[in-house]
């Protein structure tokens, strides 16, 4: 399992940016997410 943080200031709208990232990258499957300071952390796996 891998993680990716979507936090400010790198991402201006972390939650929407997370959903867009996983929508644009269908080879990544989001398993869960949690709130972190300044944004959200996504846990995902790579699917083939």
Which two three-digit tokens encode residue 17? 């940016």
* Nearest-angstrom CA–CA distance, 28 and 41: 14
Tens-place pLDDT, residues 4-48:
999 999 999 999 999 999 999 999 999 999 999 999 999 999 998
Residue keyed to tokens 């846990």? 43
| Residues 15, 40 contacting (CB under 8 angstroms) | yes
Q: What is the pLDDT of residue 28?
A: 98
Q: Kindly state the DSSP code that residue 45 receives in the 8-state scheme.
A: E
């Amino acid at each position: 399992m891998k993680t990716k943080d979507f936090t400010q200031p790198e991402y201006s709208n972390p939650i929407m940016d997370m959903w867009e990232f996983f929508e644009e990258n269908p080879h990544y499957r989001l398993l869960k997410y949690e709130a972190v300071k300044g944004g959200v952390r996504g846990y995902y796996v790579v699917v083939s």
